[in-house]
Structure 1
Amino acid sequence: MSGGDGGGTNGPVVRPRADVTVDGGGRLVVDVTLPLAATARPRLLLQPRPPKGQSKEGADRWAEETGRVAALESAGGDRWRAVLEAAPALEEGRWDAYVLGAPGEERVPLLPGLRDLRALVSGAGDGRGAPLAVRIPYATKDGRLAVRAWLRVTHAEAGRIDFSGSSMTVTARLFGALLGDGAVASLHRRGRDTAVREIALRHEGDRDFAFTVDYRDLPAGGGRAGTGAAPEVWDVYVRPAADARRIRVARLLDDVADRKAVFVYPATALGGVTARPYYTVDNDLAVEVVPTTAG
């Protein structure tokens, strides 16, 4: 491809666009608009973003070893189709979508077209096995097509969050584990001086449970409100039994790839601090406690 923009005999044209459908079985059906000769052999490339802090050489090696390639088959006219089966699952992270042309040609980023995510909207997760594998196509901030993937052996799916006075009540559903004796919600404060708050669970069905967090139990600034201390963040987990490993509480089973800016919950003022739940960039549930006044 000349200048990385396409123009070879069978190479991808500039800025091809893809429509993506997620079906009920978790497959991704990718339809690419790509004017090529019928004899062309384009391919779809999903390339994971490397872990933060890796060198360029390490990032290149990571991408080469873990990228996923699928043939694009002619679907008539200028349309080409690739089907990515549910298995094998994508590793957890963000995967950028490209078109590959002939060997040696540069990859071309895909633009997002229509995304049919109706199969994901219910969010119930019924019939899901373990490990839990989730894939959500989305448009990046710079206007490219990507896929957000999660792969978790155990998972606690956050549902409704209700607010009352100084507390919030979270309902959730467990995947890949069973609730047993000693089950608790477990909130862990980030930082070197890590504190933990444990809260009893209320069983609400085979895999469903609920717990109530009193914000007054989550101090800010190492317990000193209003002294100019930085906000404290408490990450939310569940420990399904007394001797079990903790499991992150998150919201993954719907069509929202990045919910941090979409699901905005109310802040509660509590005499010198405000507290509010939010979803992180990985859609994990957390609570932020911020000092607001001088003590």
Structure 2
Amino acid sequence: MTAPRADCTADGEGRIGFDVTLPGTAEGWDAALLLRLRESDPEETVRLPLVPLPGGSDGSGDPAGSACSGAPGATVLRATLSGTTRLAEGRWDVFLVLDGGTPQRLPAGCYDLRALVDQVPPADRTRLEVRVPYTTKYGNISVRTWLRGPHAEVGEVWPADGGMTLHGRLYGAELTSGARLEARPRGAVGRLVTAPVDRQGTADFTARLAYGELLREPGAGDEWELWLRPGADAGPVRVARILDDIIDKHEVIRYPARPVPVPESGEGGETAGGGTVRARPYYTGTNDLSVRLERTAPKAP
């Protein structure tokens, strides 16, 4: 007997189709998917009705939008999450509800996420709502969502020569004179290091952050968040990378650590006491870009 599973197809407009394969016939069943926001209090949920696929109960007559073909002797029902349904930012676990019974976690099947790779939203989009279905470590299906506006999307990151060069694109606002990149030490309110922004039009930008400047803030800590201030009078925007199909970039994308020119010694990342400092750009668990200072103790004599 075929165990229930969900195949997913996502598009660049926020829509996700769930094709749920059930064993045997599902005629007359009251079936639905329940999306539940993890760690929400009060609990946030969205209910999506499951309906038979047009053109064939096993999905063979409706290939459009289906990630996988149906299994022989099984029934395939479809639920669609529309792009207009508002979902808070976070992780939404997907449950199967049959005939009013207890919601059960739903195992993941196949995915078609090609439309999410290297997305380029319209330039006039003021708010981005990104949804990416994925498989949890237990094999179940969940949906990671981001709700950002304005948003500064990371393009290329080049760590070299005692610093990092960042290319990106701004959505939901325009770059004006006075635009700058800001590095803020995590947990240290009021402190920051700034770098000028080279504007390419009103959306694309390039900025270079010198790692040595981070050491000029004693006691600021070793974790630095990166923000883009679009203009002198504009509010800061967190720099992140969310417009693709990789939900946990900190596990996939790893940038090299580079020596930090230390003011006391002048070069090589070596402090006056013999220890070293290296800097590494990295993505947080929410795919926001940050920089970590990695320090090593001096060698024993």
TM-score (norm 1): 0.84
User: Are 1:44 and 2:40 counterparts?
Assistant: no
Aligned with residue 92 of structure 1, among 84, 89, 92 = 89
Deviation at 1:194, TM superposition (A): 5.3
Q: Does 1:239 align with 2:236?
A: no
Query: Where in structure 2 are the equivalents of 1:127-206 lying within 5 Å?
Result: 127=123, 129-192=125-188, 195-206=191-202
Q: 1:262 aligns with which of 252, 255, 260?
A: 252
* Gap change, CA 1:213 and 1:155, over 3 Å in 2: same
Task: Select the structure of larger CA radius of gyration.
Answer: 2
Structure 1 residues 128 and 67: alpha-carbon distance in aligned structure 2, compared to 1, 3 A threshold: farther
Partner of 1:282: 286
Sort the Cα spacing of 1:159 and 1:291 in 2 relative to 1 into closer, same or farther, 3 A.
same
- For normalisation by structure 2, the TM-score amounts to 0.83
CA contact (8 A) 1:258 1:282 kept: yes
Contact 2:164 2:209 in 1 (8 A): yes
Percent identity, aligned pairs only?
Answer: 38
What is the CA-CA distance between 1:42 and the residue it aligns to? Answer: 0.4
Q: Which residue of 1 aligns with 2:8?
A: 20
Partner of 1:114: 110
The 1:177–1:127 alpha-carbon spacing in structure 2 relative to 1, beyond 3 Å, is closer
Listed one character per residue, the Cα deviations across residues 111-161 of structure 1 (whole Å, up to 9, x for unaligned) are: 111111000112333456221100000111222110000011210000001
Equivalent position amino acid for 1:156 in 2: A
Residue by residue over 1:50-84, the C-alpha shift from the partner in whole angstroms, topping out at 9 and shown as x without a partner, is 25xxxxxxx4xx22xx2011100012141110111
Q: Which runs of 5+ in 1 are unaligned?
A: 1-12, 52-58, 225-229
What's the counterpart of residue 219 of structure 1?
Answer: 215
* Residue 79 of structure 1, aligned match among 76, 79, 104: 76
Distance 1:116 1:128 in 2: 27
Change (3 A) 1:30 1:121: same
* Number of residue-to-residue matches in the alignment: 265
- Report if aligned partners of 1:89, 1:151 keep a CA contact under 8 Å in 2: no
> Cα gap change, 1:142/1:136 in structure 2, threshold over 3 Å: closer, same or farther?
same
- Larger CA deviation: 22-31 vs 271-280: 22-31
Name the counterpart of 1:69. Answer: 47
Distance, in Å, in 2 between the alignment partners of 1:260 and 1:278 is 7
Task: Find the aligned partners of 1:25 and 1:280 in 2 and give their Cα distance.
Answer: 25
Cα distance in 1 between the residues matched to 2:3 and 2:279: 44
Quick one: distance in 1 between partners of 2:160 and 2:104? Answer: 51
Deviation at 1:277, TM superposition (A): 0.2
Tell me which amino acid in the other structure corresponds to 2:229: R
Instruction: Determine whether 1:210 maps to 2:210.
Output: no
**Aligned partner of residue 201 in structure 1, secondary structure:** strand
Indicate the RMSD between aligned Cα atoms, in angstroms.
Answer: 2.1
